[in-house]
Amino acid sequence: MKSPRREIRLKGGFTTNILYECDEFLLAEKPAGLPVHETKDPNRKDFTRLLAGYLNLPDLRTANRLDLGTSGIVLLGKTPDKNKEIDSLLMNAEKEYIFLCSGVPDWKEKRFECFLKDGNKEVQMVRSGGKKAITEFTILSQHSEHNCSFGLAKILTGRRHQIRVMLRELGHSVLGDPVYSNSETDTKEKRMYLHSFRLCFTDFLGQKQWMETEIPKEFLDRVGKPLSVPNKTE
């Protein structure tokens, strides 16, 4: 049975919103700057363990992984016996991210396809030996006075650092990206402006569900004005 969304406060002063919850899984909003899962340092707080402790769900498992600086929707499985079904749900879901990128692109819409290969700290675009990656970008508003643009990225494949690498290649890296920034000034931002905004999926009862978050306050503060994303339509 689905439960209503709610806000909860985790240890360490972190706040999250539970956007959707049923017997098998839940969707929660990860804060920026918090690892999504356990790191090599057992004393470092991470989103999955904090949430598991608060909800008393020791088997809570992260199905999709967001980068440290990326905020937004995370899908977490509650029972190990449903791992395969939850992974399949995620694979077939529509995933949309919002971002602030440096500069003002000379395009409003762009479909970007390439091959990506994992490295130690960075992901590289390659001509062979990588995995196919596809993203559809839409610039929603341009803010030349702040030398940035607000956009939506729909990922059609789920590769590591996919959006970040592609925006760098397009010459408009994600603001605050410590790895793929094209400018030293971008790395002085308060956060990395990438957010998992919307997830559209079919639940275990066969019903289509559209879950989305609010636009983070940091995005609004950065441009000094309201931002909006078009409503999802069939």
pLDDT tens for each residue of 173-219: 999 999 998 666 656 788 999 999 999 999 999 999 999 999 999 99
Q: Are 69 and 55 in contact (CB under 8 A)?
A: no
Give CA 86 to chain center in angstroms.
Answer: 18
Give backbone dihedrals phi and psi of 191, rounded to 5 degrees, phi first: -160, 175
* β-bridge pairing 25-30 and 123-126: unpaired
Which CATH architecture does the domain made up of 1-92 adopt? Answer: 2-Layer Sandwich (3.30)
Query: Which among 143, 160, 141 is positioned nearest to 152, based on CA atoms?
Result: 141
Give the pLDDT of residue 2. 57
- The yes-or-no verdict on residue 129 having pLDDT over 70 is yes
**pLDDT band at 17, cuts 50/70/90?**
very high
Task: Return the structure tokens found at 71.
Answer: 């905020």
DSSP string, 81-115: GGHHHHHHHHHTSEEEEEEEEES--S-SEEEEEEE
Residue reference for tokens 């402006």: 193
Give the pLDDT of residue 48. 94
Give backbone dihedrals phi and psi of 124, rounded to 5 degrees, phi first: -110, 145
Q: Do domains 1-92 and 94-197 have the same CATH topology?
A: yes
Lowest mean pLDDT of 38-47, 106-115, 203-212, name the range.
38-47
Q: What is the mean pLDDT of residues 144-163?
A: 95
Look at 219 and 127; give whichever has higher pLDDT: 219
Q: Which helix (H) or strand (E) segment is 48 a member of?
A: helix 47-55
pLDDT tens for each residue of 51-61: 999 999 999 99
Q: What is the mean pLDDT of residues 9-29?
A: 93
Q: What is the mean pLDDT of residues 4-30?
A: 91
- The yes-or-no verdict on residue 118 having pLDDT over 70 is yes
Taking the C-alpha atoms of residue 61 and residue 187, their distance in angstroms, rounded to an integer, is 31
- The yes-or-no verdict on residue 44 having pLDDT over 60 is yes
Give the pLDDT of residue 187. 61
Give the pLDDT of residue 121. 83
The class that CATH gives domain 94-197 is: alpha beta
Lowest mean pLDDT of 41-50, 98-107, 139-148, 169-178, name the range.
41-50
Q: Hey, where are the domains in the chain? A: 1-92, 94-197
Give the CB-side neighbour count of residue 167, counting CA atoms within 13 A.
37
Q: Is 218 helix (H, G, I), strand (E, B) or coil?
A: helix
